[in-house]
Amino acid sequence: MNVQTIGVVVHPTSDAAQRAYEEIVELASSVGVQVVDATLGGRADLILSLGGDGTMLRAAREAVRRGIPLLGVNLGRMGFLASAEVGNLKAAVEAIELGDYTIELRMMLDGAATIGGEPLAAAAALNEIVVEKPTPSKVVDVEVFVGDEEVARYTADGFIIATSTGSTAYSLSAGGPVVEPEVNVMVLTPVCPHSIRWRSVVVGPTRPVTVRLVDGGGALSADGRHVVQLPPAAAVTVQPHKEPLRLVRLGGDGGFFLRFQSRFGPGSYRPT
């Protein structure tokens, strides 16, 4: 990867992110690399995320749209997707210049909401697409299909369709399994289901997953962003995005389970 221009996505309200941006501009210019704001368009060879997990997810959509790799710099609490730390930006720039990195392909999701066959909204996500309750006092009543085959009918606070990457995010909090990111599957997890027999289901990527509202409305979100309110009888169909995210891992970053232990093990929480 020949990086001549870095497109940066910066947390909009973080002073630490702004300072990191200024440092990146200085470090990159010292090796002849230009830095631009990725959200303004323009050519770039690499997207750099400066912020927490939310910024990283926003940057992922930009990277996939452009078809270029993404490197995350963690300034948040978890930073599970990030490969660089804000305190060592010089080493990150040097690693990119020297080619000391690998690129992991991460499956993303496309979600399409419809009513009576007419489109309502569409969204892309790296972690998960969720059909959730429309208001705090309500639940969702949904039928879930994989292809043409019905999985079950659920009454719950919501229903998550997650990627392997997203298996360590909302789905994990809802009791779903941890899946290695190299495994291209979709993890179906109900949120606070009204039956102890309902558990996560892991399905392959070849058939779409459809979540259909049976009784009452709901809401559609993607990677924590509200997309649209769903009227009764709406359906959400989820399938793999046509292009994967190309996620940069710097040399010495360690394997998936080492990162998992460092983020989720005892004493791993780091408040900001």
A 10 A CB-CB count for 162 gives 31
Q: For residue 71, what are the contacts with CB-CB under 8 A and spacing of at least 6?
A: 46, 47, 48, 49, 83, 84, 92, 96, 101, 248, 250
Question: In Å, how far from its chain's centre is CA 134?
Answer: 22
What is the residue-wise DSSP string for 24-42?
HHHHHHHTT-EEEEGGG--
Question: Catalytic amino acids?
Answer: 53
Residue type, 86: V
- The CA radius of gyration of the chain, in Å to the nearest whole number, is 19
Picking from 166, 134, 126, 159, the residue whose alpha carbon sits closest to that of residue 144 is 159
Picking from 57, 15, 67, 17, the residue whose alpha carbon sits closest to that of residue 37 is 17
Structure-block tokens of residue 99: 């080619």
CB-CB contact of 229 with 134 (8 Å): yes
Picking from 106, 127, 223, 23, the residue whose alpha carbon sits closest to that of residue 6 is 23
Q: Please count the residues of the chain.
A: 272
